[in-house]
A and B are shown apart, each in its own frame.
Chain A
Amino acid sequence: MAKDMTLWWGSGSPPCWRVLIALEEKNLQGYNQKLLSFEKGEHKSKEVMDVNPRGQLPAFKFGDIVINESYGACFFLESKFKSQGTKLIPDCAGSDNNCALIALIMQRVFEGNTLHQKMVDVFMYNRRVPENERHESAFKRLKETLTTELQMWEGHLKKTPGGFLAGENFSMADVIVFPSVALLLRMGLSEDKYPKLAEYYKKLQGRPSVKATWPPTWKETPGQELLKDI
């Protein structure tokens, strides 16, 4: 099964990391993988474009099937390998508690997209916006938006005493969101200002699937300070 899978990925990229974690959690180790460098522009290489015409990572193949959207790959893997590894989305049949849990997982999964976008808007500002179009006012607004978003996640984590994003157990919500939280901390987010996010980060760092897929480049170099004032 895993031998029919190939993942093209970049170190530290949350979308890539989500798929790496999902593969570990579903006991699909042994897949083919190729680590590429964003800095060298390898995500725009022919090899990647042949799989993903958008020239983005992750790019993922399973036999003839291609899924290049990280959420898509994670949902698909959970669906096709439901009975092996960790159950990332509980079954809905039966208990009412599971209905509420599934809803919460889905809600956090998709809010995770908003969190990721707002984070990227800040730390990629200078790379995405040409110099003549940059404004202090715009950058300030993006930082304020990110601050509000992070405060919301602090609130989410206060409401789930189990320590995971959707209660007592690790779920798809954590697969999707943890990589973005890890990147925030890597980029200098203040643990004092965001204690629940820091606690969440430390709790999940020890999880086998997270440890096994920790970005190799992060082991080699220190983090940055970009977000320390957020």
Chain B
Amino acid sequence: MAKLMSLLWGAGSPPCWRVMITLEEKKLQGYKRKLLSFEKGEHKSQEVLEVNPRGQLPAFKHGDIILNESCATCLYLENQFKSQGIKLIPDSADDQAAMYQHMMEGLALTDKLNSVIYYDCSVPEEERHDSAVKRNKEALTAELKLWEGYLENVAAGSYLAGAFSLADVIVFPSIACAFRFGLSVGRYPKLAKYYSLLKNRASIKTTWPPHWVASPQGYDILKDL
């Protein structure tokens, strides 16, 4: 099964990481994969464009099936391989609803993180404004406080929707990014606890961004949030 799968991915990218965590959780190790460099523009290479005309990563194939949206890929894998590996969509109505809600909110979190972390990459110099940077940081701060609230009762086995689920698959990579970019452990203790509980989960450890292992010291863009 996994042998018919291939993934084009980039290190540290939350959307790519989501797919890799899911593949591990569903016991689909053994898939083909190719690590590409965003910095070298390899996400816009012919090889990627042939799978994903948007020139974005992840780009995923299962036989002739192509999936280039990380949430779509994760949902597809959970549905197709329901009976193997970990159950990522809870059965109980309460937990399932919480899972879908937080999963989709995770996309808002990722956007707000990107608008701060990648501001200079995405906004040409002559269009940048300190007022915009300030506003983006305030929006991200408000967003992170919401997640602190969601994780009020975080504990081992009790994550965003009860047991580990697709909500955590989607959201954890962005939380990990936030800490990588200097988020204060002291100001966000619940997020920090969530991060430290899950970073040793097998699927997450195995797929930890390789350059983060090599150089554990990150950046401090978010330290004042």
Contacts and interface: CB of A to CB of B under 8 A. Distances in A.
Contacts of A92: 79-80, 82
A124 interface: no
B105 A69 contact: yes
Contacts of A65: 93-94, 97
Interface string A88-111: 000010000001101100110111
Contacts of B82: 92
A133 B128 CA distance: 8
Nearest to A134: B127
Contacts of B127: 135, 137-138
B209 to A, nearest CB: 23
B69 A107 contact: yes
Q: Which of B73, B82, B93: most chain A Cβ within 10 A?
A: B93
Contacts of A79: 89, 96
Contacts of A111: 69
Interface string B115-133: 0000000011011010110
- Give the residue among A110, A133, A152 with the most B Cβ atoms within 10 A: A110
Interface string A134-172: 010110000000000000100000000000000000000
A125 interface: no
Given A80-B93, A132-B131, A133-B132, A103 B72 contact: yes
B201 to A, nearest CB: 24
B104 interface: yes
A102 B79 contact: yes
A130 interface: yes
6 contacts: A65-B97, A66-B101, A73-B100, A102-B80, A107-B67, A111-B69
Interface string B63-86: 011111111110110011010000
A53 interface: yes
A75 B100 contact: yes
A107 B68 contact: yes
A69 B69 contact: no
A106 B54 CA distance: 16
A152 B101 contact: no
Given A80-B93, A92-B80, A137-B127, A67 B69 contact: no
Contacts of B76: 102-103, 106
Contacts of B7: none
Contacts of B126: 135, 137
Interface string B8-29: 0000000000000000000000
A107 B79 contact: no
Contacts of B67: 103, 106-107
B100 A67 contact: yes
B98 to A, nearest CB: 8
Nearest to A112: B69
Q: Which 7 A-B pairs have the closest CB atoms?
A: A110-B69, A106-B72, A72-B100, A69-B104, A110-B72, A65-B97, A103-B65
A67 B97 contact: yes
Nearest to A136: B127
A123 interface: no
Given A103-B62, A107-B69, A109-B72, A66 B97 contact: yes
Contacts of B132: 133
Contacts of B70: 110
A102 B76 CA distance: 7
Contacts of B124: 137
A201 B52 CA distance: 26
Contact of B97 (A72, A99, A107): A72
Given A66-B101, A102-B76, A133 B129 contact: yes
A70 B104 CA distance: 9
Contacts of B101: 66-69, 72
A130 B76 CA distance: 40
B146 interface: yes
B103 interface: yes
B107 interface: yes
A176 to B, nearest CB: 11
A111 B80 CA distance: 20
B30 interface: no
